[in-house]
């Protein structure tokens, strides 16, 4: 490094998420705290961390509800969860996401895979999409009961797979369902997708999304704003739950997605739920309030629905 270079000189600043210094160092301003996998003393949900790709450091935290481990135990629905955080902060190991996915696994009695994709700005979009797709392929490799992870081999029902995510994670979840519908994904059946307070752009691309997604084609790039996408009708699941919050600035884009999907010619069923008086991802920061608990029960009910014929 040039000795005259000030290592604390900021090149790019995107509060409250991160800043990039002129020496290339990235400082995340939130979402860096982590908690280890554990067995929840109240619900009995177990969790553990696995590496999917040593080459890219793609990994996940798995959650197994308090269910029998005998060979005759019935298989459980499988949830693939994609965390939010503007594509650049938080992880499955963050306290809020560990606690939330664990609570969903307990309430819905599902096996869950919470994906740790590589984050911007070190790894700009579309890397997060590609990582999540690779993780889904890794999960699908367990569908015949001979994959590398015993929890998936022994307990997951690959005919009842659900995608879910919040904010940026909801955006990624949609992209995965779209890709599964357009390109196909062997090994499992995606029954439904639940997207919570989804990030689908804001009309015009802001400086943050332009910085972390330099190859974006514009404000109507289908990765960011899928409502006008002609391939929306090919979504690779039969049920969709769109959840928004009344005071969330992303609320209207969630509504537009619901309306566009409903009118697209897609053959599934889409539901729309709006929580009055609440803001973006309130349920993560205040998980024990009445509205967050009601949302958890709605999510659990959705994850126990069968596929449409």
Q: What is the pLDDT of residues 41-90, one digit of tens each?
A: 999 999 999 999 999 999 999 999 997 554 446 899 999 999 999 999 99
Predicted confidence band of residue 224 (pLDDT cuts 50, 70, 90): very high
Residue 308 placed within a domain: no
Do 70 and 177 lie in one domain? The reply is: yes
Q: For residues 16 and 100, state if they share a domain.
A: no
CATH assignment of the domain containing 232: 3.40.50.1820
State the catalytic residue, choosing from 40, 166, 221, 248: 248
Mean pLDDT for 234-254 is 97
1 with 149, same domain: the answer is no
Q: For the chain, what is the domain count?
A: 2
Q: Please tell me whether residues 88 and 200 are part of one structural domain.
A: yes
- Catalytic residue, chosen from 103, 167, 175, 223, is 167
**271 pLDDT above the threshold of 90:** yes
Indicate whether 23 and 48 sit together in one domain.
no
- Within a domain: 119: yes
Residue 153 is predicted with a pLDDT of 97
Of residues 5 and 226, the one with the higher pLDDT is: 226
Q: What is the pLDDT of residue 5?
A: 55
Same domain, 11 and 73: no
Say what the pLDDT of residue 308 is: 84
Task: Kindly report, residue by residue over 206-219, the tens digit of the pLDDT.
Answer: 899 999 999 998 87
Mean model confidence pLDDT for the chain: 94
Q: What is the pLDDT of residue 19?
A: 97
pLDDT at 73 (0 to 100): 61
pLDDT at residue 2 greater than cutoff 70: no
Q: Which of 116, 174, 197, 280 is catalytic?
A: 280
Over residues 2-26, the mean pLDDT reads 86
Residue 252 appears among annotated catalytic residues: no
Which pLDDT does position 110 carry in this prediction?
Answer: 97
Same structural domain, 184 and 134: yes
113 and 3 inside one domain? no
For 156, list phi and psi in degrees, rounded to 5.
Answer: -90, 135
Q: What percentage of residues in the chain have a pLDDT greater than 90?
A: 89
Q: List Cα–Cα distances, 61 to 51, 52, 217, 282, in angstroms.
A: 9, 10, 33, 23
Residue 217 annotated among the catalytic residues of the structure: no
Which residues form the domain of 17? 1-30
Query: Does residue 15 belong to any structural domain of this protein?
Result: yes
Q: Residue 1's pLDDT band (boundaries 50, 70, 90)?
A: very low
Please indicate, yes or no, whether residues 178 and 75 belong to a single structural domain of this protein: yes
301 is catalytic: no
Output the CA torsion 166→169→175→178 (10° steps). -40
pLDDT in tens, 94-145: 999 999 999 999 999 999 999 999 999 999 999 999 999 999 999 999 999 9
Residue 35 lies in a domain: no
């Amino acid at each position: 490094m040039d000795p005259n270079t000030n290592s604390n000189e900021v090149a790019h600043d995107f509060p409250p998420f991160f800043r990039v210094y002129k020496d290339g160092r990235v400082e995340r301003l939130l979402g860096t705290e982590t908690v280890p996998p554990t067995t929840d003393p109240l619900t009995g949900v177990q969790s553990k961390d696995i590496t999917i790709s040593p080459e890219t450091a793609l990994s996940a935290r798995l959650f197994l509800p308090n269910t029998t481990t005998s060979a005759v135990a019935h298989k459980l629905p499988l949830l693939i969860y994609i965390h939010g955080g503007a594509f650049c902060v938080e992880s499955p190991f963050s306290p809020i996401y560990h606690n939330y996915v664990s609570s969903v696994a307990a309430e819905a009695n599902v096996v869950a895979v919470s994906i740790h994709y590589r984050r911007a700005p070190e790894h700009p979009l579309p890397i997060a999409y590609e990582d999540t797709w690779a993780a889904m392929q890794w999960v699908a490799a367990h569908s015949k009961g001979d994959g590398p992870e015993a929890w998936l081999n022994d307990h997951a029902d690959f005919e009842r797979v659900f995608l879910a995510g919040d904010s940026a994670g909801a955006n990624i979840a949609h992209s995965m369902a779209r890709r599964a519908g357009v390109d196909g994904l062997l090994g499992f059946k995606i029954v439904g997708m639940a997207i919570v307070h989804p990030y689908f752009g804001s009309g015009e691309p802001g400086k943050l999304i332009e910085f972390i997604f330099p190859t974006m084609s514009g404000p109507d790039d289908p990765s960011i704003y899928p409502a006008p996408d002609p391939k929306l009708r090919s979504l690779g699941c039969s049920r969709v739950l769109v959840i928004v919050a009344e005071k969330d600035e992303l609320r209207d884009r969630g509504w537009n997605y619901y309306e566009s999907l409903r009118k697209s010619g897609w053959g599934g069923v889409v539901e729309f739920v709006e929580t009055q008086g609440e803001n973006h991802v309130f349920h993560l920061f205040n998980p024990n309030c009445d509205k967050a608990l009601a949302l958890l029960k709605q999510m659990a009910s959705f994850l126990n629905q069968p596929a449409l014929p």
